[in-house]
């Protein structure tokens, strides 16, 4: 039953994409379009048969690059050391972090020397820690790319987080993924529990006082929840680098968000909280369908364009099997519904239970907004002109909310889209270098008198530069 449902969902999603992408990048003639869909369906059915007959030895001998490797295996493949850490949150989820303790140039050294720069990196919706390393063989993945371009004498320690519910975080102290209660979470819970647990664990493990945070998409959403709902964590982060921040989303034009609004928001109080896209062989299937030369590869490109925006020159076709061999990595339907709610309301607010949970919010039927004024961490924002999910209008609206905004960086590519932040061909020059350059510049200008002094310093800087930049761009 589950296998039949999986095939049905996969084929259905294929035709949904087809319907939504007429005249996008498909063959212009009807015969060509029909051939693409027929090839796709036949490949799916054939792959299912082969997948179910594979042995573990077949998997180990697969010649599909990084697509069938775990994130730790990918990191080791590129010659870097890696550690796996399981972190238990306050509400019982066990989330896994992948740590690259040092770079090739530093070699193995004691924790106390040389001086280290601790970085926490958090992925977006349906992503996992692979987002930061999957293109590392070409020095593009930010998790590996940072250490290749850094001029600092500090030893960079990357900690790649994984949100609950993804490939690496499906454990709980009392719940099983087969139980609906396991999936009763949205991005609010990621900010309330996952990010604080990760920050505390890493700071304790490294004996550092604070860390640098880099988030992409939902990696920024969760961060803004943490710092507004648990403001004591502001002091634990030196600088937040927000890539394609998903804060306000009323201008989102992604086909995925349109489906959220049209299908789920009207029945938000009736949709069960379950795993999103629970198809075990999806990623292996993607690796097969998306390899270079496969007749179905155009479909893979189209799906990525529809999610975050089309930027064909930045899409590495050779990396598609690896990218889609790790993504989508899993989440909950409630997380999708929470984003859909924000698209409709235009607000950054808590989950709307529509009366289904009267104990929430002191009996109020209106979900409260997050108090962004409580965020005192210095924030650097990076955005793209062609981002279908984090539209520039929404990004600039969010930028005005932060009194500690220290950098507002528009990526130097008019076609730069949402997923380009983690997978673009020119990610090294367009993202990695600006992020690292500003991180080092910021570290060198930090005032010596602690968090309060830092905030005062940044507020002064704002009055001279940042607000002028924002006003000029509006």
pTM to 2 decimals? 0.81
Say yes or no to pLDDT of 428 above 50: yes
- Residue in the block written with tokens 């009763």: 184
Q: Are strands 237-243 and 405-410 parallel, antiparallel or unpaired?
A: unpaired
Residues in the chain: 474
| Lowest-confidence segment of 38-52, 129-143, 377-391, 436-450 by average pLDDT | 38-52
pLDDT tens-digit series, residues 270-318: 777 888 876 566 666 766 777 777 887 777 888 788 888 888 889 888 8
The residues, any chain, with a CB within 8 Å of residue 98's CB and separated by 6 or more, are 71, 72, 75, 82, 83, 84, 85, 129, 159, 160, 162, 168
Identify the band that residue 468 occupies on the pLDDT scale cut at 50, 70 and 90: very low
Pairing of the two strands 116-122 and 155-160: parallel
Position 248 scores a pLDDT of 97
Task: Label residue 144 by pLDDT band (50, 70, 90).
Answer: confident
- Give the bridge partners for 88, in sequence order: 94
> To the nearest whole number, what is the mean pLDDT of the chain?
79
In the predicted model, is pLDDT for residue 374 greater than 80? Answer: yes
**What 3-state DSSP class applies to 93?**
strand
Cβ-in-10-Å burial (0-12, 13-18, 19+) of 292 comes to exposed
Better pLDDT: 210 or 474: 210
pLDDT tens track for 330-343: 899 899 989 989 99
The stretch 432-457 carries a mean pLDDT of 70
Largest CA distance in the chain: 69
- DSSP secondary structure, 395-449, as one string: HHHHHTT-TTEEEEEE-S-TT--TTHHHH-TTHIIIIIHHHHHHHHHHHHH--SS
Q: What is the pLDDT of residue 284?
A: 67
User: How far is it, in rounded angstroms, from Cα 279 to Cα 260?
Assistant: 19
**What does the pLDDT look like over 400-411, one tens digit per residue?**
999 999 999 999
Give the model's confidence band at 64: pLDDT under 50 very low, under 70 low, under 90 confident, else very high.
low
Give dist(CA 104, CA 316) in Å, integer: 26
What pLDDT, on a 0 to 100 scale, did the predictor assign at position 452?
Answer: 43
With 70 as the cut, is the pLDDT of residue 133 above it?
yes
Residue, of 463 and 354, whose pLDDT is higher: 354
Residue 274 has a pLDDT of: 84
Average pLDDT over residues 223-230: 99
How open is the CA angle 4-299-343, to the nearest 5 degrees?
85
Q: Is 256 left (phi over 0), alpha (psi -120 to 50) or beta?
A: alpha
* pLDDT tens digits along 250-266: 999 887 777 777 776 67
Euclidean distance between CA atoms 444 and 453, whole angstroms: 15
Judge whether residue 55 has pLDDT over 70: no
pLDDT winner (highest mean) among 149-158, 233-242, 337-346, 418-427: 233-242
pLDDT at 58 over 50: no
Predicted confidence at residue 280, as pLDDT, reads: 60
In the predicted structure, residue 445 carries a pLDDT above the cut 90: no
- Domains identified in the chain and CATH numbers: 2-61+278-326 (no CATH), 71-272+330-446 (3.40.50.1820)
Instruction: Give the pLDDT mean for 43-69.
Output: 54
Highest mean pLDDT among 43-57, 194-208, 321-335: 194-208
Question: What is the C-alpha to C-alpha distance for residues 227 and 237, in angstroms, rounded to an integer?
Answer: 10
Q: Annotated catalytic residue: which of 68, 217, 228, 327?
A: 217
Which H/E stretch holds residue 35? helix 30-52
Of the candidates 268, 178, 191, the residue with the CA atom closest to the CA atom of residue 226: 191
| Non-local CB neighbours of 165 within 8 Å, separated by 6+ positions | 182, 183, 185, 275, 330, 331, 332, 335
Over the stretch 169-208, which tens digit does the pLDDT of each residue have?
A: 999 999 999 999 999 999 999 999 999 999 999 999 999 9
DSSP state, residue 462: I
Task: Give the distance, in angstroms, between the CA of residue 441 and the centroid of all CA atoms in the same chain.
Answer: 25
Active site residue 217: yes
- Residue with the bigger pLDDT between 170 and 21: it is 170
Structure-token pair, residue 335? 């997380």
Pair of tokens at residue 315: 């899409």
Decide which of 245 and 19 is more confident.
245
Question: Is the confidence at residue 465, as pLDDT, over 80?
Answer: no
Report d(CA 347, CA 230) in Å as an integer. Answer: 20
What is the model's pLDDT at position 12? Answer: 42
Confidence label for 50 from pLDDT (cuts 50, 70 and 90): low
Task: Give the per-residue pLDDT at 268.
Answer: 64
What pLDDT score does 360 carry?
78
pLDDT of 19 higher than 50? no
DSSP 56-70: HHHHHT--SGGGGS-
Nearest residue to 384 via CA among 442, 427, 437, 436: 427
**How many whole angstroms separate alpha carbon 196 and alpha carbon 235?**
12
């Amino acid at each position: 039953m589950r296998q039949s449902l999986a095939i049905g969902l996969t084929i259905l999603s294929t035709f949904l994409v087809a319907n939504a992408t007429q005249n996008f990048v498909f063959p212009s003639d009807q015969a060509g379009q029909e051939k693409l869909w027929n090839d796709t369906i036949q490949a799916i059915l054939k792959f299912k048969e082969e997948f179910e007959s594979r042995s573990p030895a077949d998997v180990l001998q697969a010649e599909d690059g990084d697509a069938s490797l775990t994130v730790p295996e990918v990191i080791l493949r590129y010659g870097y050391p890696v550690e796996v850490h399981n972190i238990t949150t306050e509400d019982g989820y066990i989330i896994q972090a992948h740590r690259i303790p040092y770079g090739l140039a530093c070699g193995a050294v004691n924790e106390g020397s040389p001086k280290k720069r601790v970085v926490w990196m958090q992925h977006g919706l349906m992503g996992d820690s692979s987002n930061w390393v999957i293109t590392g063989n070409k020095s593009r993945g930010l998790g590996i790319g940072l250490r290749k371009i850094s001029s600092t004498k500090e030893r960079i320690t990357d900690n790649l987080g994984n949100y609950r519910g993804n490939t690496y975080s499906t454990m709980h102290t009392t719940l099983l993924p087969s139980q609906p209660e396991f999936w009763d979470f949205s991005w609010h819970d990621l900010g309330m529990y996952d990010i604080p647990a990760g920050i505390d664990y890493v700071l304790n493990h490294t004996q550092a006082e604070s860390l640098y945070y880099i988030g992409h998409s939902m990696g920024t959403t969760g961060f803004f929840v943490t710092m507004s709902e648990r403001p004591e964590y502001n002091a634990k982060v030196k600088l937040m680098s927000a890539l394609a921040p998903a804060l306000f989303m009323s201008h989102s034009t992604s086909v995925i968000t349109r489906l959220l609004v049209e299908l789920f928001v009207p029945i938000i109080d009736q949709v069960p909280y379950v795993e999103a896209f629970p198809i075990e062989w999806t990623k292996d299937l993607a690796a097969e369908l998306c390899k270079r030369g496969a007749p179905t590869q155009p479909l893979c490109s189209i799906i990525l364009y529809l999610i975050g925006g089309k930027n064909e020159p930045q899409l590495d076709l050779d990396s598609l099997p690896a990218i889609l061999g790790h993504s989508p990595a899993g989440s909950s339907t409630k997380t999708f519904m929470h984003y859909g709610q924000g698209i409709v309301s235009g607000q950054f607010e808590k989950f709307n239970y529509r009366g289904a949970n009267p104990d929430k919010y002191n009996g109020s039927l209106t979900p409260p907004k997050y108090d962004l004024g409580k965020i005192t961490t210095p924030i650097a924002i990076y955005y793209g002109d062609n981002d279908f999910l984090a539209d520039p209008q929404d990004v600039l609206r969010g930028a005005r909310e932060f009194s500690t905004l220290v950098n507002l960086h528009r990526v130097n590519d008019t076609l730069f889209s949402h997923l380009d932040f983690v997978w673009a061909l020119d990610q090294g020059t367009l993202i990695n270098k600006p992020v690292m350059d500003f991180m080092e510049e910021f570290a060198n200008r930090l005032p010596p008198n602690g968090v309060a002094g830092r905030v005062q310093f940044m507020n002064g800087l704002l009055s001279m530069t940042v607000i002028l930049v924002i006003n000029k761009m509006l």
